Amino acid sequence: MDEQEKDLKEMDQKEQAPDTEEQPQPQTDQVEKLKETTEKIWGSTKHAWNTATFKANQYKKLVQKKIDLSALHKKISAAHADLGKLIDDLREAGKKNILNLAEVREILKRIDELKAEAATLEEEVEQIRVEEVPQESAQEEVVEKEKSE
Domain boundaries, the chain: 59-130
Per-residue model confidence (pLDDT) at position 7: 65
Vertex 89: Cα angle to 86 and 91 (nearest 5)? 105
Per-residue model confidence (pLDDT) at position 19: 47
Per-residue model confidence (pLDDT) at position 20: 47
C-alpha torsion angle, residues 52, 57, 62, 65 (rounded to 10)? 180
CA distance 112 to 80: 11
Per-residue model confidence (pLDDT) at position 3: 66
Per-residue model confidence (pLDDT) at position 31: 86
Per-residue model confidence (pLDDT) at position 72: 96
Would you call 30 exposed, middle or buried from its count of C-beta atoms within 10 A (0-12, 13-18, 19+)? exposed
Residue ranges in the chain whose pLDDT is less than 70: 1-26, 135-149
Would you call 68 exposed, middle or buried from its count of C-beta atoms within 10 A (0-12, 13-18, 19+)? middle
Per-residue model confidence (pLDDT) at position 27: 82
Long-range contacts of residues 140-148, Cβ cutoff 8 Å, at least 24 apart:
140/46, 141/43, 141/46, 141/47, 144/39, 144/43, 145/43, 147/39, 148/36, 148/39, 148/40, 148/43
Per-residue model confidence (pLDDT) at position 61: 94
Distance of CA 84 to the CA centre of its chain: 44
Vertex 49: Cα angle to 46 and 51 (nearest 5)? 110
Per-residue model confidence (pLDDT) at position 29: 85
